[in-house]
Amino acid sequence: MTQLVNRDLLIASVLLHELVEAFGYRKEGDTYIQSDIREKFIHGFWETYIALEERVPKDLAHLIGTHSKDSPMHPQFLEGIIFHYADLAHADILCF
């Protein structure tokens, strides 16, 4: 049996997964430094919290929270596995 990818769920998770970047840094003079949010919470946690507060579907919040290699949980859906590895590949590309 072929499993179809829920493209809407996958695209929504990609668009929302970096919400912490809006809160993750603060400007001091001419430089940006990490905020206490970024220092105190693992990547994916804060985005998941915001998503749940805004009442996004729990499956979407799960994908946001499990996309990172730092997450203590693994994705439970095919979309999450695709998203996880795409995000890892993107991070590797940024290193070059």
Per-block average pLDDT, block size 10, for the chain (96 residues)?
84 84 79 80 84 93 89 90 90 84
Specify the pLDDT at position 2.
63
Domain boundaries, the chain: 7-89
Specify the pLDDT at position 1.
53
Specify the pLDDT at position 20.
66
Specify the pLDDT at position 63.
93
Element housing 32 (H / E): strand 31-34
